Structure 1
Amino acid sequence: MKRNSLIFVIVMAISVIVASLILSAAVTTKDVNKALEPFYQTLSYILNTYYQKDDINLNKLMDSAIDGLVKGLGDDFSYYENPEGVEEKQIEMEGEYGGLGIEVTYDSEYKAVKVVSPMYGTPAWRAGLKAGDRIVSIDDQPVSEMEYMEAVRKLRGKPGTTVRIKILREGVDTLLTFELIREKIQIIPVKHAFIETSKGRIGYTLITRFGAKTSEEMAEALNDIFARGVKGLILDLRDNPGGYLNSAIEVASYFIDKGVVVKTKNAYGIEEVYESKGNNYPNVPIVVLVNKGSASASEILTGALKDYEIAKIVGEKTFGKGSVQTGFPLSNGGTLYLTTAHYMTPSGKDIHKIGIEPDVYVEEATTTKRESAAVDYTKKIIDIDMSDPYLVKGLEVLLGMIK
């Protein structure tokens, strides 16, 4: 694309933005034009006086400009994906890719990649990465000098290859170094098991994320669980980074007979209400296990079950991601993911950056590596570790709920 053509496209795009801003009465045309003057000046200086101006990659220049624009919001959950990043995301959404098995976001305060949660059984999970860890270096390159999606791509790679990361962890004075071997990450959204107790059989379900097939696989697990006759149920949402809104609503509907599951409110104060689709399963005592890595859609389910007093919540305060991101395709093939609304629980609580407090607290284990976690995480029916303090406390609470 020629420089003049590019500048024309940029100007036209900005004109559209200006027009939409005026329509929304957010600012005046004068305000926007004044704010954009330094951008036009900078672009002009770069294109005309930069020493290596003939080698300028205009697409990369615009990618960086858009990325910086979004980062200026100070919203860790709004971000820009360039065209290459869009392709990478498509690979991930297909459910299989080479990587470490972590859900991440951008941390604008530290200019780092922040771990939302490590996925169960994956290299990151086994190594002991935790929700809230900030990745500040990848293969000895500072993350602060990378675009967000560039850093994400560096974490992914061919299975069997090694990546070295440095972590800033809350409460730890020095940086933690991890050398992890990438694996083919296969996402199995629902697993289940059974626990035999003095009060009868207990069903256990682990939901690793809320993807396109989660509600379908959750129904299969619940069919098996209730067919075997259970007195209660443990839902494990630890380190579940969330996923699709519809998936969370469908899973919540399995436990809520009727009523609101979640509400969303946009920038104009307009609310959308999503109600239960109906419960076809027996109502048994339920305990939900959560930790700092329980985020987004997992908090929708947790918040609904807590508000209706359908379940007791056991563990740690959840992550606190109550925002909705909408993807806006751009003309260059990239996508802008922008926070456009907040989730609210049925009672109207906005839990963004607040999280959900458990009814019963469990202290997070202090060990770094999960030595006993050399498991096949692709299995749907699993063995569970009854020395796990979360499970021990959750089972104790559940048995106290069973009459």
Structure 2
Amino acid sequence: MIKQRRIWSWLVIGLMAIALQFFWIGGANAAVTDYLQEQKFLTNVWQIVNRSYVDSDFNHQNWYKVRRQFINRKFNSREDTYAAIREMLATLDDPFTRLLEPDKFKSMQTSTSGELTGVGLQIVVDEPDNKVTVIAPIEGSPADVAGVRSRDRIVGIDNIPTKGLSLDECANRMRGAIGSEVKLSLERPLADSKGFEQLDVVIKRDRIAVTPIIAKLNQEENHKVGYIRLNQFNGNASADMEKTLKKFQSQGADRYVLDLRGNPGGLFDAGLQIARMWIPEGTVVYTVDRHGVQESFEAKGDAITKAPLVVLTDGGTASASEILAGALQENDRAQLVGTTTFGKGLIQSLYELEDGSGLAVTIAKYETPKHHNIHKRGIIPDVEVELTQPITRKQLGTKEDPQYVAALSVLDGTYKSMVAKS
């Protein structure tokens, strides 16, 4: 009986050992599988950048060597992999090429479709000071209502310095629940351009409905002037512009003022489509890829109106807005009035990754129809008119708006202070 019990005991111990062995093998296999998945994820990001990034020299480095430096790391989680990818992308020294975690990628997609939540700011790291700089607040957004302006520098978010933070880290700190508050510490350029004013702004986060176009038909002397303020090139912009132009045409508009002030850009295709509504024929923009290959995008006779046009620009006119402004100026379709544009001449493409995250990659730079590269330079208007003091949204496109008044004078041919085109 004792011997039989011993046999059963040894049998149980043996079975437990076998089970434990399978447990460890299974756990090891799962760990290996997870590790390989993370390697595959990082490699996929590396490959997208490898085949599409605008700089074939990858910021003067061997991109294959960069991959080897990161692929051999141990990734215990997707967060570890995200951190490695951010570090890898940082070697490109390009703030526009970046990883977007699933919630941020979804937010960006929602933004371009016409609605988002937060404070409503478009930001960039402005060189050479590497300061987080406001391109423009979205019209009607909490940031706009709070008085944040184009070219303001954000030096702190809730008392956390922005120095050393990435754009996405800054954006993430400004996000939050609807109704919650965030404090931005700003440096605002003084009018004499000789220094900065320090101020704090408290903003209550909210849902932001992005209305791409605000328009009105103004009776100015003997002319009906279609005033169109284009706020952003989102998914609704081109359809709304077409409806607005056709409506104004039917109402007898014989002149137009297109307001691109504070428009931070958006969808490249929307910029092209809107340019073609104004330009009868000619080159809208050139794109130049990593191999120096140029592709031209043309207008081919589908313009909705040929009525005289003036475009208003400022330091918040960026990206797709600059494509449109440059196309209208250099095709002699319109004169530009206001101040020099922001100077963002790079084009990004968005790639959705397998886990719902996204990758924004700079794939090309663009040139105006006369082959001007405006990146970090901007577009100089034909008529330079500074705003000596801020004006409210209600004053835009009225006789209380000095740049709009100047635009009317240009349309009448009575404005004499012209500057050479860039």
Aligned pairs for 1:309-320 (under 5 A) are 309-320=332-343
Aligned pairs for 1:76-155 (under 5 A) are 76-107=95-126, 113-144=132-163, 146-155=165-174
Aligned pairs for 1:9-28 (under 5 A) are 9=37, 11=39, 17=46
Structure 1 pair 176–216 and aligned structure 2 pair: CA distance change class (3 A): same
1:168 alignment counterpart: 187
Deviation at 1:360, TM superposition (A): 0.5
Structure 1 pair 183–277 and aligned structure 2 pair: CA distance change class (3 A): farther
Q: Aligned pair 1:299/2:322, yes or no?
A: yes
Equivalent residues of 1:250, 1:277 under 8 A apart:
no
Structure 1 pair 262–20 and aligned structure 2 pair: CA distance change class (3 A): closer
Q: Aligned pair 1:192/2:215, yes or no?
A: yes
1:398 alignment counterpart: 411
Q: Aligned pair 1:204/2:227, yes or no?
A: yes
Can you list the C-alpha shifts for 1:327-368, whole angstroms capped at 9, x where unaligned?
23334432221111011112222211111110011113444x
What amino acid does structure 1 have at the position aligned with 2:88? L
How many residues are paired up? 378
SS at match of 2:240: helix
What amino acid does structure 2 have at the position aligned with 1:292? G
SS at match of 1:239: coil
Structure 1 pair 184–20 and aligned structure 2 pair: CA distance change class (3 A): closer
SS at match of 1:86: helix
Deviation at 1:10, TM superposition (A): 5.1
SS at match of 2:278: coil
Between the aligned partners of 2:251 and 2:373, the Cα distance in structure 1 is: 38
SS at match of 2:234: coil
Can you list the C-alpha shifts for 1:110-137, whole angstroms capped at 9, x where unaligned?
6654322112232322333222323232
1:183 alignment counterpart: 206
Can you list the C-alpha shifts for 1:125-158, whole angstroms capped at 9, x where unaligned?
2333222323232222233465533431332333
Deviation at 1:228, TM superposition (A): 1.9
Comparing 182-191 with 83-92, which one deviates more in the overlay?
Answer: 83-92
Structure label with greater radius of gyration: 2
1:217 alignment counterpart: 240
SS at match of 1:259: strand
Equivalent residues of 1:315, 1:360 under 8 A apart:
yes
What amino acid does structure 2 have at the position aligned with 1:242? G
Comparing 318-327 with 193-202, which one deviates more in the overlay?
Answer: 193-202
2:379 alignment counterpart: 356
Comparing 307-316 with 59-68, which one deviates more in the overlay?
Answer: 59-68
1:64 alignment counterpart: 83
Instruction: Indicate the structure whose relative CO is greater, using CA pairs within 8 Å and at least 6 residues apart.
Output: 1
Between the aligned partners of 2:43 and 2:138, the Cα distance in structure 1 is: 43
Deviation at 1:182, TM superposition (A): 2.2
SS at match of 1:385: coil
1:272 alignment counterpart: 295
Unaligned runs of 5+ in 1: 48-56, 376-381
Can you list the C-alpha shifts for 1:184-230, whole angstroms capped at 9, x where unaligned?
21111112112222242211111111112211111111112122223
Between the aligned partners of 1:63 and 1:133, the Cα distance in structure 2 is: 30
TM-score by length of 1: 0.82
SS at match of 1:212: coil
TM-score by length of 2: 0.79
Can you list the C-alpha shifts for 1:3-46, whole angstroms capped at 9, x where unaligned?
64454445556667589969x9969xx966765676578x46xx
Name the % identity: 31
Between the aligned partners of 2:157 and 2:349, the Cα distance in structure 1 is: 29
Structure 1 pair 364–59 and aligned structure 2 pair: CA distance change class (3 A): farther
Can you list the C-alpha shifts for 1:343-394, whole angstroms capped at 9, x where unaligned?
1112222211111110011113444xx5x44x6xxxxxx9843211111211
Between the aligned partners of 1:20 and 1:293, the Cα distance in structure 2 is: 29
Q: Aligned pair 1:329/2:329, yes or no?
A: no
Comparing 82-91 with 139-148, which one deviates more in the overlay?
Answer: 139-148
Between the aligned partners of 1:63 and 1:15, the Cα distance in structure 2 is: 12
Between the aligned partners of 1:20 and 1:256, the Cα distance in structure 2 is: 35
Structure 1 pair 18–275 and aligned structure 2 pair: CA distance change class (3 A): closer
Match of 2:283 among 239, 260, 265: 260
Indicate the RMSD between aligned Cα atoms, in angstroms.
Answer: 3.3
Comparing 337-346 with 167-176, which one deviates more in the overlay?
Answer: 167-176
Between the aligned partners of 1:101 and 1:13, the Cα distance in structure 2 is: 32
Equivalent residues of 1:64, 1:147 under 8 A apart:
no
Equivalent residues of 1:75, 1:108 under 8 A apart:
no
Equivalent residues of 1:71, 1:108 under 8 A apart:
no
Comparing 262-271 with 32-41, which one deviates more in the overlay?
Answer: 32-41
Between the aligned partners of 1:245 and 1:325, the Cα distance in structure 2 is: 9
Between the aligned partners of 2:260 and 2:339, the Cα distance in structure 1 is: 11
Between the aligned partners of 2:174 and 2:267, the Cα distance in structure 1 is: 23
